Every structure is written in structure tokens, then in C-alpha cells.
A and B are shown apart, each in its own frame.
Chain A
């Protein structure tokens, strides 16, 4: 991997006022790259055309020589999760792409019981279990209209009951590291192992990481993860090695339906906006972009998504905020506190002298 000097924006940046939050038009410049740095690149993952083939997962593991792991992230293990066709479970140190499979059904007339992923056996891990309870005329309805263009709202063909009881849809979405504009992992890394690349992405340098693990809770998406038997952290590099050789990331190359699109971020954003408009025109009210808004809690993402339901349905946080956003305020509070303590102690001494 090309060695690039690390520079963590925010604390010691050219503008030290507050670079921890909000839009940042030139992420690489902010990180100290010269003006002629390459354009910021990213992934636009259009889940409305994903067929759940998992070619992205396989291509990623092949290229990055990641170990096999089960749905709990356990290395060299495997086992059926019982959660639809998702046996990857989550993003982790050993799985840098994760295709989520979300089965939904909706009662047309009958009240709909709350619906989770069938047989999710991870409840004890403390990870969020998708609390999917589609609204009767909310996103699911709109989705049916995209998937079942002139669809069957009056009856359920599968049980032959007029007046219908259920409609089903199967959402698939390939998740990946978001390569945030304001990357909490990078902000808290004490060794400089995490760095901002000239492409605007965020990469861990395995030979520098000391395994302190600060970055793990700092990620608002739960992406970066420690490989337990190794001690270091791992995550998607957006195939930094391929990018420096002028190639596309492995996952985007493997995707057969262009669900994963790679390119210059501004171009992808324009494409995504157009796609969203098309879907809206077709009546897909539930379609939305996720990670596209640079005014969100992480300043927008290099890897962003077109979703067909609430982010929570896909296991994504609805309102991610970079965990270092409040650092200045915290430092300020800490400094005030420290000053107060100093003052109190000082005054105590002063008082003693007086006495």
C-alpha cells in the first residue's frame, strides 16, 4: 500500500475553529493534500436494483484475502443464521461488504403484527434487531408499486383470498463502510493508523494500528471492527490499492446489475438524485437517499445509498452523528472544569496563606 502521510482534520487542521461537523467541500484539502489531489470518489449503492447475489461480498473477500466468518463475525466459522438468506450478519473485521436480506409482509386488511427478521439469533449480542413494522400506507405500499408496478392490492394471489391478507417484498442491500466526511474513527485514532486518502476515503494501515480499539465505538455505523485473534482493526479500504492503480473497487466491478456504482462523488450524487427523481415519478414514495446529505451528522458520506424503506429496516442508524462532533464543547467544558478545579485548589491555598 502506498504510504501517505496521515493528517487528521479537526484538531490540528488549517482552520482549527471547528472542522468536526457540517459540510466540507474539500475533504482531501482539509486533510492536507495539495490542491491537485484527485477527485473525491465513492460508492452509490442503488438497492432498488440489487438482486442479492452477494458477488460484492465474494469479490471483496477474494481481493482483500479476508477470512471466512459466520454471522457473528467469528473467524473461520460458518453456520446458518436463520435470518432469510443473510448468513453474513453484519459488517465486521472479516466482512467488508454485507448484503442485508429483509423479508417484509404486510397485511392488507388485517392489522399487522410487528415483524422482525425471522429467527434473529443475535438478540443477546446487544446489536439492534430490526424493528420493522411497515405502515399500512407508508413505504411498503409505495414499494409494491415499484416492484409490482400495477400491483395487486385487492387480494392475495398466494392464498387466493380476495380482499387479501398479505403482500410480501424482499429488500436487499449491500452495506459497506461509509467513508464519512467527518470520520469518527479517524478522529480518535491515536497512532495515525487511520488516515484520509487522496481520494477522500478512510483507510486503516495495518502496520501502524496498535489495536487500541478507540475507533470501534467511535464509528456511528458500527462498521470498523477488531479481529479478535489479531488485535488490530479492519474495514473496507474502498480498494485503495486498486484505486492507486486506476482500477475500480472489486465489489463494484463484480456487481452484475449496477446496484453498486463507483465513481467521482459529485457525479454519483447527480446520478443518485436523478434516479431518486425517476422513482418518485413512478410513485415510489418510500425511496430515499441515505448518506447523501452533507448537512447530516457526519457531513455526508463517500458511500451512500438509495433505500426503499426507513434506514432502520436495513440496520442503518437513522440519524448518524460523528462521535467527535462535540469534542470542542467537551474540551471547553473540561477546560472550564479544570480551571475551576485549579481555581478552587488555588483559592484554597490562597486562603490558607491568608489564614
Chain B
């Protein structure tokens, strides 16, 4: 955190000065380790074993927060009899289909769930349920309107099984509300029933002993114990512990499950929804949080609404059906979606045309980032916008990314500098190796200079979901313009050219509300007008103040329901700048946090079931009997007047179905999930798998790596075999304080470039000796993808991990900022990596892979290809040779097929 978020680290420094203990868990000794109280070196890619060990420690020693766990988590729920744990199937849960590599989640359900399965079953995340649909939908007919058209309903059932639906996006198919969990599960409040979640969890982690943790992670039992003691002794009524993670957790083939493991631990310890607790995700850029809230992702719409699917969602009613009847605030998805359509299409969106639902693009498969790159190589994608992204450097497998870009018709690059993704066709490393020939590349590249964050106005949304408005400080130079300017005027020009068209495919664009006022000579759209549109307006034309005011009848609008309130009272709430000295500890009047300016989510959990604070020291939000309201230092994340003893009546829907003791109001059951009966593609509980590329055999299961890993096969994306003598070392990538991600914002600046002027890798003195590497000299790293060279920094901060088996795991650290452009240059670390993905998120595993390292510089030109091919042959990996521009493999025609055509 000190390394990549030095400014945010000031708060950690402040906490430390007040007596907080800082534990840093990282394979490397970094700038964070340097001032942490304890650095715990962990073998790359083994965090589930470590966190699972902590869960076992908590359960074994009765250190969990009992009242909290019983009342606020699903510990007491009974899991159905069909569920078989990974412990009993050597690393697989019940429901695995080896043919497709996917799970059927139906056996993971709670007991009692089957009988009341509701509309949510049609979520593609639960394909196994479609068979029971006919028998159980009667009650839904009126609501969903589907039964009016039995043929449609049958079609839809069939569509659930369509490969394009299954492939499209199982993880996000239900939106961020998660899958609906049907009905109320049977519970055993004593937690003694063998099939309670609590007991299932206990059995699942029974083998995660300190010794096993040591065997898998390399963390000695004494160190493990130290961490366990600090964490548990600091988690109770009086104290809370927070976890902070970043891409060191997410960028794994089991990334989502890493965070799940931490969530289980925090829920057991009562550290969620309480001040000083939580799990904090540090984001990589200033507004990455904002770019998922108002997303640039293929699988969600603003506010985490799922993206409609072409086969499943023919009408708005189809689309919202899965949420109808859902408990919690996701039960109002129809209102959020209708308001979104009203914001986009304005008066053109009317009930009779389904509010323009037909005008929305629909997905019909997996269009995630890396799949799209493969589709580009296969000639399926024609145009591409890159806005502040440099895939040639920042994405794993740079070569594959460049091949993709080389097979487009057109490419628009908006950036501050002439980045590699704009110049690859004439300067990329494949020109030298002979894999690309500029004269044969048809991609027309448009480079549009972009304004920096100080040259435009708008909001940043940071990891606490805080929107902070910033003013324009200076005008952008020359032709540089804001992204808002670019897209507004692009849309304006397109609409002008299409004006009067009656072609149905032009209607979405023509029906958009596109009337933002512009400012000044450059005609920049007024960003506040956009923010107000996102906030939404009511029937009276005034800004809404809460998403609870949104209606499904088309009388309200709002571009992102969770942001509603940011323009409440017609005031830009994100621009508030009241000093912390003039307000309470939560500083509610600095900026604005979604939702509803809540600074901490699920804060109902900071009070006990009766609504009293768990302790005076940790009081935050509580029930005030006198006024009959929830009150506290923050906006309560609970309906203000819902009594703690409220019990939902039979048949209650949406938030009314959430009882007064259920703090996790966005979940269908209001509980924190220690066990996920649905919604994850790779299991209801986290399980330790080795990374896709590992030098170590899985000590816990015969299943070596995550069985649901998404692979993108092709000669340009070969995988290193695990436990291969040819690729005997683990590699991780990371950022340095001195540079910014793919380097477009730092490698071009002298004051930053001079601080870390060259691409280097960090190795231990032991590995340096083993391989004959010299500090300050070059070394070559090789994988099945490519070979790169880097200066060597020999340091004791990188240390080999000696496992109990006696195996020594050498780890190599590799900052990934460099490429050929700019002041500070070097080979591209990401060229070494392949692409394998977490099936939940389509996020790449680039925090751990394997490679070989040898002294000296790499071969040049075509010799480089022979060199890498030689490694592939020795490792038993298929050929990686490709035709010009990556298009056609030049030898075996069967590989053409494999290339994704």
C-alpha cells in the first residue's frame, strides 16, 4: 500500500501512530513491509490456504463473534443434502461437469430452497434450475407476464442452456445483487446441526492446520500463530480489524475466492459493518471505482444492473423478472432500469415501446476484454476505442494484444502521450522479430490527445465510494480534450449524419437524450449537467434525492441508481469541501458517497440485534426507541424507521422482506454469507488451488488448479506446464511508487523516469548465485509466450521460500511499467505472461506465473522466436509460431482452428 498508494498510506501511518498494529502479507519485502509491525512473506498464490488457516483457527478456538455470527450471517442456515464438499471429492464440489469445466450449482442450495424456487431460477448462473421451472412458476405468471406467452417462456428456458448464455457471464448474470436465494432456508440457531453452514464450513477448513498452512504457503506456524493472535485479539465488541487488498488478491485464477475467504473471516469475527472493520479494495487508478459504478464493462449496466442478453431478454419484463419478488433493495430493479432508460432516451422512452429496452445493445456471449482480443485476431472485431488504456504494455501477453490491434479496421487511441498501443504497428517488438509487417497491417489508428485530470472537470469515485468533484485547473494544451468532450461531439456528429434515418439500427442513437449545455470556446459539455442526469429527476423535473424515489412507471429518470442523491436539492453534493475540523469523525459533508451518502455499508451491523451499539467504543449507528428511528454518526444503511424487531409478513417483497435484524440489505436474505449457495462459478466456499502455472504440487487436493479456469487457447497464448523443470521459478508482477501502471503517465516525465530509469527484475542472492546473475547486469526471462531482458537487482528483500517438503521455491519480482516508448524504456514485463482467467470475473492471473531466468541479453530478431520455440519444445508445449500479424499459424492447419476462428 505504501508502494502503490503512498497518499492513502498516510491514514495507515496515522493509525500506527495511534497504536494500530500493521501486518503486511506479501511475497516481497516492500516499502510497506519496511514500516509494518510484521511482514509475513507468503508464497505467491497461496492466500486461500493462509486465510483458510485463520478461519480454522477462529472456529477451533471459539474466537468468532457468536451473537453477530448467529444473527447476521447465514451460519445457521441448513445446506441441502445433495451438497458434497471439495474435501470429499479431492478438490471438486458437487455439480462439476468435466466436459464444460463448469459447475451446476443446484446441489449447493440451502435445504428447503427447492420447494420455493422463484423467478430467479432463470438466471444463467443457475442453469440447473430450468428443469423445475414449469412446475413452480404459477405464482409468477402475473408478475412477469411471461406466462401469457408459453412459447416465449419455453424459448427462454431453452435459451438458458444456450452456450452463448452460459458463456456470456455467469458471474455477473444476476447483477451485483447476487443471485436470488429462494425463500427462507431452514435454520438451526444452535449451529449444531451437521448441515448448518457453520458446521459445513468447519469441516471444509478442518485440514487447514498451521502445519498445512506452512506446507502450502511457507509461513512458519509460529508466525501464523502471531498473526492469528493479533487479528483475533483485535476483533471483538471493543475492537475491529480491517483487511486491505488490491490486485495482489484479484489477479488470480481464484481471485474472487480470495476475497470470499477474507469475507468469511471478517464475518466470523464481526468485522463487517462496524467502524474500523471491513475489507478495503484499493483500486489501481483515481476513478476505477467510478468506472465500474458507471461501467466500462461488457457485462453490467450503470449501478451494477446486469447486461441484458439477446436470447434471454426479449422484453423489459423478461429482464426484470429475475429480480421481481427478490428480497432486499434489488427487488426494485425494475424501477432502477426504467429510470435508466428514461435517462438515456428521455421522452422517446414510453411504456408502449418498453421504454426503449429494444434499443439497448444485448450481449450474446463472452465479450470480456481478453476474449475480445482473441476475437480481433480471428477477424471478428472491426473497431476499438482505447481510452486511457495501454494494452500493449498493461495487459498480460502484450504480443497477443498487439496481434489483436493489428487485425482491426480502425483503432481510436485517446491518451496523454503517443503510447505503444498507438505505435505498435510501426515500432512494436514484433517488427524486429518479423512477426508483424507494417505494410500488411490494415488497422487505421486515430490518435486523439486527451486532457489530463487537472485539465477537465468531473468526479473521481474512490474506493470508499466517495465521489469528489474537481474543478478544471488549467486549459488542456492544443488539441487535447476531455473524454466527455470527445464522446459528446462524436455522438453529436454521428446523430447529425444519421438525422432522418428510419433504419431501426440507427434509432438507439437518434433517440438518445444528447442535449448537454456546452461551455466556452472548446464547447466542453457541462459535466455538472451530466452528473445531474446521472442523479436523475422526478416527475416535477427536480433532482431526486434518493433511489427509493425511483419508479418503474417511467415518471422518474436516473443514469445510475446508486448515484441518486449526488445532486440532491439541485446541489452538486460531490463538490462539498467542509473541513474535517468543522464536522464529526465521519466527515459526511466532504464529497458524497454512494449510496445515500453512507460512508460505511451495512452499518446496521454496528449495533446488536436489539439495535444497541455492541460497545460504547465502537458505537456508530443504533436504534433510538424514543424517536423510533435509526440514528448515529453516519447515514444508517437501513430503513430509518424499520424497528429492530420487525418481522416481514408472509409474501413481503423487496426491502419489506428484510427483517429488522438483517443488516446486509442488498442480499436476498439480509445475511452475510459464510457459504454462497449460488452466484460463484467455482464453488460455494473457497478452496486452495495452485495457480495455473505453479512449481508446486497442490498439497491439499488432487485437483491441482481451479477446475473452472477460463483459458483462451491459441499459438500466441501458450501456457507453461506446472512443475516443469523448463520453467522452474515463480514470477510476480507489480508496480513501483515511481511509475504509473503501463507508464504512459510516467515514463515520459523526466522527474519520474530518473527515479526508476530502467526495467529491472528483483531476485534473491540465492537465485542470483544459482543462475549466475549479477546485480546491475542484464538477465533474460523466458516463458512459453516470449523472452524479455531486464537489469537484475539482487536483493535480500526477495527471498526463496523453503517449504516443509524441502522444496525451495524461488520467486522473481517484476515491475511491469516499461516498454519501448518514452524516456525510460525497457522490455515489456507483460510480454512474458500468458492469459488465464478467473471465471467469475474474467480477470487475468498475472500475479503469479512461471519462467526461467538466465544471465545475459536476449536474442534479437527472428532468433528470439527460435529461442522461445526451443523452450516450448523442451517443456512439451505446442508450437507458438504464428503467421504474419498473428493471423495464421504457419505450420499445422489444425492450429488455425484453435486460434479461435
Contacts and interface: CB of A to CB of B under 8 A. Distances in A.
Given A49-B13, A58-B755, A256 B31 contact: no
A84 interface: yes
Interface in A158-196: 158-162, 166, 168-172
A169 B34 contact: yes
Interface string A76-88: 0011111011011
B319 to A, nearest CB: 46
A68 B751 contact: yes
Nearest to A48: B35
Nearest to A94: B754
Interface stretch (A13-21, A32-40, A147-155, A345-353): A147-155
- A58, A78, A155, A258 interface centre (most CB from chain B within 10 Å): A78
A157 B223 contact: yes
A336 interface: no
Given A52-B34, A147-B34, A169-B34, A80 B802 contact: no
A89 to B, nearest CB: 10
Contacts of A151: 38
B36 A147 contact: yes
Contacts of A162: 220
Interface string B761-781: 000000000000001100000
Interface in B21-59: 21, 29, 31-41
B35 to A, nearest CB: 6
A79 B824 CA distance: 9
Interface stretch (B410-418, B539-547, B793-801): B793-801
A121 B40 CA distance: 32
A53 interface: yes
Contacts of B21: 149
Contacts of A85: 31, 736, 756
Contacts of B755: 54, 57-58, 87-88
Interface in A35-64: 48-55, 57-58, 61-62
Interface residues of B, number: 56
Interface stretch (B4-12, B95-103, B184-192, B669-677): B4-12
B757 A79 contact: yes
A118 B39 contact: no
B212 to A, nearest CB: 14
Contacts of A159: 799-802
A105 to B, nearest CB: 5
Contact of B801 (A80, A103, A158): A158
Contact of B823 (A78, A155, A157): A78
A257 interface: yes
A53 B737 contact: yes
B757 A78 contact: yes
B2 interface: yes
A157 B219 CA distance: 6
A111 interface: no
Contact of A53 (B2, B40, B219, B751): B2
A51 B6 contact: yes
A118 B768 CA distance: 13
B760 interface: yes
B803 A160 contact: yes
Interface residues of A, number: 53
Contact of A84 (B222, B752, B791, B795): B795
A8 to B, nearest CB: 34
A257 B14 CA distance: 8
A58 B791 contact: no
B372 interface: no
Contacts of B757: 70, 78-80, 87
A178 B800 CA distance: 41
Interface string B797-814: 101111110000000000
B791 A80 contact: yes
Given A158-B41, A170-B29, A105 B222 contact: no
Nearest to A164: B220
A61 B751 CA distance: 7
B6 A148 contact: no
B555 to A, nearest CB: 48
B876 to A, nearest CB: 31
A126 interface: no
Given A149-B37, A149-B38, A160-B804, A58 B752 contact: yes
Contacts of A160: 214, 218, 220, 801-804
Contacts of B33: 170
B38 A55 contact: no
Nearest to B41: A158
Nearest to A68: B750
A168 B797 contact: yes
A69 B823 CA distance: 13
A84 B214 CA distance: 30
Interface in A256-294: 256-258
A150 B226 contact: yes
A52 B754 contact: no
A290 B752 CA distance: 29
Contacts of B775: 82, 118-119
Contacts of A54: 737-738, 755
A80 B223 CA distance: 35
A150 B13 CA distance: 18
Contacts of A121: 776
Contacts of B223: 152, 157
B753 interface: yes
A154 B760 contact: no
A87 B823 CA distance: 15
- A84, A151, A256 interface centre (most CB from chain B within 10 Å): A256
B758 interface: yes
Contacts of B40: 157
A256 B750 CA distance: 22
Contact of A118 (B756, B795, B823): B795
Contacts of B9: 51, 256-257
B473 to A, nearest CB: 15
A183 B218 CA distance: 53
Contacts of B10: 256-258
A256 B793 contact: no
Interface string A206-217: 000000000000
Contacts of A169: 34
A57 B797 CA distance: 24
B38 to A, nearest CB: 5
Nearest to B798: A158
B802 A51 contact: no
A154 B222 contact: yes
A103 B28 CA distance: 13
Interface in A217-270: 256-258
B49 to A, nearest CB: 15
A119 B737 contact: no
B815 to A, nearest CB: 10
A147 B35 contact: yes
Contacts of B800: 158-159
Contacts of A257: 6, 9-10, 13
B222 A152 contact: yes
A36 to B, nearest CB: 31
Contacts of A79: 757-758
B776 A258 contact: no
A42 B791 CA distance: 39
B13 A258 contact: yes
Nearest to A50: B35
Interface of B: 2, 6-7, 9-10, 13, 17, 21, 29, 31-41, 214, 218-220, 222-223, 226, 736-738, 750-758, 760, 775-776, 791, 793-797, 799-804, 823-824
16 contacts: A51-B13, A51-B737, A52-B31, A53-B2, A53-B737, A54-B738, A58-B751, A61-B751, A67-B750, A70-B757, A82-B793, A87-B754, A119-B775, A149-B21, A150-B38, A160-B804
Given A85-B736, A168-B797, 8 more contacts: A52-B34, A85-B31, A119-B776, A119-B794, A149-B37, A152-B223, A158-B800, A168-B796
Ranked nearest first, the 4 interchain pairs of A and B with the lowest CB-CB distance are: A82-B776, A119-B775, A68-B750, A78-B757
